[in-house]
């Protein structure tokens, strides 16, 4: 994609939606020309450096990166302006339709079509479920973080396994830190890298319901995996009850739970990607007891001992959550991935995928995305559905969500 299709004097500017961005740093780490940068508040794209290579688009877990505006070349939004945004200015705010017409002798319809094409981006815009509650975003920043106290830190994988995954509960005390299920929060690393530079904020999905671990507890829980040699995960996993951590966010405005008891939730995850689905399940259990909509979980881990929350999950009734726990490295058993089990369950999943009240959520390893997509395409096809058109339609209706790293 290039900017050459635009009339002289205009350019397409690559921008990031600050309401949807979860500040995971993926775009900055991916950009081959160093065009993406950030301050305490926002991740932004330098219009002088961005060459529209699109390398950052598909790794972005939220689609917030896939936004474009047509601007006058000399008045592109500066980095400073973008860093202050709390929401994206609309194309109409720019008043460039008329300008474009006068500059290039193009009709307004032609320019409007260009803008439309630019708006579409590469992957289409991520949209929240229509019924989702309105999230609060970016209330606390690196410069002004919330201070949370560690209230609990429990291992939720078998101590005999190498995988140390922890359920960490953060209390916000008197500070209001509103979150919705599906949102993420940032943990400010207390250490710098070897060159003395600040490390990017580490992002974790909220694993508790909006009203806390226990009702109205004003706390938030996280699912954190200790990564060998990982500076921040190691530090966080070692925190003891009573210690303080600096927190930013909340982030994310599209990977949200439908506030609709009739909605079917098809949740697919690996490892710690289960965090938001624990939150969804808790919310369903507390606020939508007996919901007619179904909740189905496909959850992959190496072994039962390495599957986060294995014990507590067994206690969740099937009416609340239908569970498919699959394992890739159990001695003597064939390797099974979530997409394999989905294929095995095609008979039940086909009608579900086609139902207008179904929402699909995928969270976890980046690598599983393609396999899950292929499985969904096969299942859809076997039930007379065209996944190639159904997926973007679901995405446009806020019914298809991916958060993979």
Minimum CB distance to ligand NAP, residue 181 (Å): 12
Yes or no: say if 172 and 218 are a contact pair by the CB < 8 Å rule. yes
Q: Does 182 bind ligand NAP (CB under 6 A)?
A: no
Q: Counting contacts by CB under 6 A, is residue 186 touching ligand NAP?
A: no
Q: Give the span between the Cα atoms of 379 and 381, in whole angstroms.
A: 5
Q: Mapped to the 3 state alphabet, what secondary structure does 60-90 carry?
A: CCCCCCCEEEEEEHHHCCCHHHHHHCCCCCC
Tell me the sheet residues that pair with 15: 67
Question: Which string of x and - marks every residue 336-355 that binds ligand NAP (by CB under 6 A)?
Answer: -xx-----------------
* Cα–Cα distance, 257 to 359 (Å, whole number): 9
Give the residue with the Cβ less far from ligand NAP, 214 or 329: 329
**Is residue 405 close enough to count as binding ligand NAP by CB under 6 A?**
yes
Closer residue to ligand NAP in complex, CB, 67/221 = 221
Q: How many residues does the chain have?
A: 405
Phi, psi of 165 (to 5 degrees): -110, 135
* Binding string, residues 276-315; x marks residues near ligand NAP by CB under 6 A: ------------------------xxx-------------
Whose Cβ is closer to ligand NAP: residue 11's or residue 166's? 166
Cβ neighbours of residue 105 closer than 8 Å, sequence gap 6 or more: 7
Strand 146-155 versus strand 244-251 pairing type = antiparallel
Between 256 and 363, name the residue whose CB sits nearer to ligand NAP.
363
Task: Name the segment binding ligand NAP (CB under 6 A); options: 78-86, 152-160, 171-179, 218-226.
Answer: 218-226
Among 128, 182, 200, 271, binds ligand NAP (CB under 6 A): 271
Stretch that binds ligand NAP, among 33-41, 85-93, 267-275, 381-389 (CB under 6 A): 267-275
Residue 154 interacts with ligand NAP (CB under 6 A): yes or no: no
Helix 346-354, helix 368-382: angle, nearest 10: 80
Q: Which is nearer to ligand NAP, 106 or 338 (CB)?
A: 338
Select from 15-23, 96-104, 166-174, 358-366 the region that touches ligand NAP (CB under 6 A): 358-366
Taking a C-beta distance cutoff of 8 angstroms, is the pair 54, 122 a contact?
A: yes
| 275 counts as binding ligand NAP under rule CB under 6 A | yes
Containing H/E element for 241? none
Size of the site for ligand NAP (CB under 6 A): 25
Question: 3-state DSSP call for residue 152?
Answer: strand
Which residues lie across from 364 on neighbouring strands? 404
60 binds ligand NAP (CB under 6 A): no
CA 121, CA 396: separation in Å to the nearest integer?
13
Return the residue nearest ligand NAP (CB atom).
271
Residue nearer to ligand NAP on the CB measure, 62 or 141: 62
HSE (side-chain half, CA atoms, 13 Å) at 235:
14
Supply the minimum distance, in Å, between the C-beta of residue 135 and ligand NAP: 16
CB of 405 to ligand NAP, least distance (A): 4
Task: Measure the CA–CA gap between 207 and 179, rounded to whole angstroms.
Answer: 10
With CB under 6 A as the contact rule, the residue among 43, 68, 204, 309 that binds ligand NAP is: 204
- Subset of residues 223 to 252 that bind ligand NAP, contact rule: CB under 6 A: 223-225
Inter-CA distances, 236 with 84, 185, 306, Å: 30, 14, 19
**Catalytic sites, residue numbers:** 204-205, 363, 403, 405
- Please give the order of strands across the beta sheet that includes 165-171: 202-205, 184-187, 244-251, 146-155, 165-171, 219-225
The residue (of 205 and 248) whose beta carbon lies closer to ligand NAP is: 205
Which residues are near ligand NAP by CB under 6 A? Answer: 204-205, 223-225, 270-273, 275, 300-302, 328-329, 337-338, 363-365, 367-368, 371, 403, 405
């Amino acid at each position: 994609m290039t900017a050459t299709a635009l009339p002289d004097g205009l350019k397409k500017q690559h921008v990031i939606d600050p309401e949807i961005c979860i500040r995971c740093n993926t775009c900055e780490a991916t950009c081959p020309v160093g065009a993406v940068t950030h301050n305490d508040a926002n991740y932004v794209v330098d219009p002088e450096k961005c060459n529209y290579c699109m390398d950052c688009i598909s790794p972005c877990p939220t689609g917030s990166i896939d936004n474009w505006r047509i601007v006058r070349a000399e008045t592109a939004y500066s980095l400073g302006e973008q860093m202050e945004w709390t929401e994206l200015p609309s194309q109409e705010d720019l008043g460039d339709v008329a300008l474009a017409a006068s500059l290039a002798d193009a009709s307004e319809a032609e320019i409007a079509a260009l803008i439309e094409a630019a708006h579409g981006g590469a992957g289409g815009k991520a949209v929240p479920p229509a019924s989702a509650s309105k999230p609060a975003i970016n209330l606390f920043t690196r410069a002004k973080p919330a201070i949370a106290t560690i209230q609990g830190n429990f291992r939720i994988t078998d101590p005999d396994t190498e995988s140390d995954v922890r359920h960490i509960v953060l209390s916000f005390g008197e500070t209001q830190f509103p979150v919705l299920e599906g949102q993420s929060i940032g943990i400010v690393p207390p250490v710098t890298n070897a060159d003395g530079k600040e490390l990017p904020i580490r992002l974790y999905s909220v694993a508790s319901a909006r009203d806390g671990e226990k009702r109205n507890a004003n706390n938030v829980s996280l699912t954190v995996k200790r990564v060998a040699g990982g500076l921040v995960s190691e530090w966080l996993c070692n925190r003891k009850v009573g210690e303080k951590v600096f927190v930013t966010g909340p982030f994310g405005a599209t990977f949200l739970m439908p506030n609709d008891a009739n909605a079917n939730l098809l949740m697919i995850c690996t490892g710690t990607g289960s965090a938001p689905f624990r939150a969804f399940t808790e919310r369903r259990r507390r606020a939508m007891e007996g919901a007619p909509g179904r909740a189905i979980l496909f959850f992959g881990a190496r072994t039962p001992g390495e599957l986060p929350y294995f014990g507590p999950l067994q206690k969740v009734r099937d009416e609340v959550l239908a569970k498919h726990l699959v394992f890739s490295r159990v001695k003597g058993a064939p390797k099974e991935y979530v997409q394999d089990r989905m294929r095995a369950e095609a008979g039940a999943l086909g009608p579900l995928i086609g139902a207008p009240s179904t929402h699909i959520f995928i969270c976890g390893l980046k690598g599983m995305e393609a396999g899950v997509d292929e499985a969904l395409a096969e299942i859809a096809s076997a039930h007379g559905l065209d996944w190639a058109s159904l997926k973007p339609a679901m995405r446009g209706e806020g019914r298809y969500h991916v958060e993979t790293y």
